[in-house]
Chain A
Amino acid sequence: MMVSLDIIILALLVASASAIPGVFLLLRKSAMLSDAISHSILLGIVLLFFWLKDIHSPFFIFAAALTGVLTVYLIEVIIQSKQVKKDAAIGLVFPCFFALAIILINLFARNVHLDQDAVLLGEIAFAPFERLEVFGRDLGPKASWVMGMVLLLNTSFVGFFYKELKITTFDKNLALILGITPGLIHYLLVTLVSITAVVAFDSVGAVLLVAFMITPAATATLLSRRLLNVLFISIGVACVSAITGYSVAALLDTSIAGAMATMCGLFFLLAFFLSPTQGLITRARHQKQKKLEFSAKLLTIQLLHHENQSEEKSENNINNLLDHMQWTEAFSNKVCKYCLENQWITQKKTALFLTQLGREIAKVVMKKT
């Protein structure tokens, strides 16, 4: 039981630490940078491993994170040259770095901790076995402490630079006018993403980091329009995904990271369909209603146009609707029903007449547009 609590705590830390920078990446339309960074840092880790031979040095984190920053810088340079568009630039750099890393591992480090599968998938279950001991007291898994510090780092960054992050995300020009350098914020953010990626590497691996960074943030944007809410919802969703994912993995005896990513996806799907404002179901219903209302108003205008004119008898009847408005029979009936219910029109056999209310509605609509 002790072990699984450690895992849960670690998972929660990874989830929250990733969700925070993830929100900003998503809002800045740089979601795929998380993918690029998480793949590229493997090259940094491998190279450093050859040099230092010790994966556990703290120096590791910063130096490997540097690879992430360099990757983004290289991508930027390529985009600036105007020869390549943004999406292609991203996809040019990181697969090459990742492939190089795989080659190096296969050639020179086949038997080491850097197993290429583990790299992708991570295995959070093993993390608790390396514990942090201070003055002979077991303070828990080392990974949790380090991750906890990263969480603190990310939270502090967002806390201190909240205004700057907000402005540079939503209005770059305003930022420039106010003297805030968008570039600096961008690279600081990228540095944090890299650091988070390196530390989370062991636990959840490359691709699953992307799941934690992007998917909860995407879910949150479907539920709220306010930045602060989006941040809190992302962290919340990420944490819930972590816990439920762990449960599922324990139940099925399968990859914990994979299960957590899947849960992120499930919650996203829930929001996609059921979000009260943005959900597919709400949207569809909304659209139908709007279309009906719009068409009903059109009908009143049409009736108004032809009122008291010679063609009134032929124009203002239900059969003509099909022809003139190009509506189907079913839809015409719906529209008429709507107008009748709202007392905009009255109907005598097939002829339609505007009520005074209907006439007012038509006039208001005409004035408004």
Chain B
Amino acid sequence: MQQNKTAISVKDLSMAFEDKAVLWDIDLEIPEGVLMAIVGPNGAGKTTFLKAMLGVIKPAAGRTELFGEEIKKNLKKIAYVPQKNTIDWDFPCTVLDVVLMGTYGQLGWIKRPGAKQKQQAIEALDQVGMTLFMDRHISELSGGQQQRIFLARALVQHADVLLMDEPFVGVDAVTEREIIHLLKKLSSEGKTIIVVHHDLQTVKAYFNWIFMLNVRQIADGPVETVFTEENLRLTYGSRSAYLSETI
């Protein structure tokens, strides 16, 4: 795997919430084209890390660069798939409406989505297998279906980097398989994909790069070399029984 270019570089990133540290001194280089997992226990700062990478929250120290430039200047190249529970599912809109929202970035101010955007949205829905649900109201979807349309919304941005926050929680096995299949395809096409992942058992099967985080940076690099029992112990503390089962 040729990883010469760096997609994201993080330097001395630290975040505080009130007086507690959420992220400490993170130094990271994420190569282009990897399919990377971020793992760590609850409260390890994973979602905060994603938000810092998106430039949505201001760090206490340090900075993040996307393709060598400040994130704010390069937002078009990065797309975000949030956790499912942050939405009000009673909002009056259809599946197509949600995916169309992904085109808002490229449209700029005031302009409305037109036929071209609608076409892009349908293509994105096709990639996630949800075209038939185009006109359904979002409250009628299952957990897996909701996740798919969020992914479609991010895909329609045609970004080079994809950030996903725990996409497999509350999702059925079929959807999970299909999503990871799609992610692998996108990765092979050169997209950089970063996923906050909750299930240690599937790390080796799904990902080729990993970042292990517990407020501090524990380890990062290729899965084969970095995803070791030792590193897991450092990340999760002394839950050895759990650890030996997963490797």
Contact = CB atoms under 8 A, between A and B. Distances in A.
A302 B12 CA distance: 8
B31 interface: no
Contact of A369 (B18, B19, B21, B63): B21
Contacts of A291: 16, 60
Contacts of B12: 298, 302, 324-325
B24 A325 contact: no
Given A301-B25, A305-B25, 16 more contacts: A290-B16, A290-B18, A291-B16, A291-B60, A294-B60, A295-B61, A298-B24, A298-B61, A302-B12, A324-B12, A324-B62, A326-B61, A326-B63, A366-B216, A369-B24, A369-B216
Contacts of A298: 12, 14, 24-25, 60-61
A327 interface: yes
B239 interface: no
27 contacts: A290-B16, A290-B18, A291-B60, A294-B14, A294-B16, A294-B19, A294-B21, A294-B60, A295-B60, A298-B14, A298-B24, A298-B25, A298-B60, A298-B61, A302-B12, A324-B12, A325-B12, A325-B61, A325-B62, A326-B62, A326-B63, A365-B24, A366-B24, A366-B216, A369-B21, A369-B24, A369-B214
Interface size class of A (residues with CB under 8 A): 10 to 19
Interface in A186-225: none
Nearest to A299: B61
Contacts of B59: 326
Interface string B1-36: 000000000011010101101001100000000000
A294 B215 CA distance: 14
Contact of A301 (B11, B18, B24, B214): B24
A12 B62 CA distance: 57
Contacts of B19: 290, 293-294
Interface of B: 11-12, 14, 16, 18-19, 21, 24-25, 59-63, 214-216
Interface in A38-78: none
Nearest to B23: A369
Q: Which of A291, A294, A301 has the most CB of B within 10 A?
A: A294
Nearest to A331: B61
Contacts of A326: 59, 61-63
Contacts of A305: 25
Nearest to B58: A326
Contacts of A295: 60-61
Contacts of B214: 369
Contacts of B25: 298, 301-302, 305
A327 B12 CA distance: 12
Q: Which of B21, B59, B61, B62 has the most CB of A within 10 A?
A: B61
A66 B14 CA distance: 57
Interface in A333-369: 365-366, 369
A301 B24 CA distance: 9
Contact of A327 (B11, B21, B61): B61
Nearest to B19: A290
A312 to B, nearest CB: 16
A291 B14 CA distance: 12
Q: Which of B11, B24, B215 has the most CB of A within 10 A?
A: B24
Nearest to B27: A305
Interface in A299-335: 301-302, 305, 324-327
Interface in A254-307: 290-291, 293-295, 298, 301-302, 305
B191 to A, nearest CB: 28
A24 B61 CA distance: 42
A298 B24 CA distance: 8
B66 to A, nearest CB: 15
Nearest to B64: A326
A133 B62 CA distance: 77
Contacts of B215: 369
Contacts of B21: 294, 369
A290 B59 CA distance: 14
A305 B27 CA distance: 11
A291 B18 CA distance: 8
Nearest to A326: B63
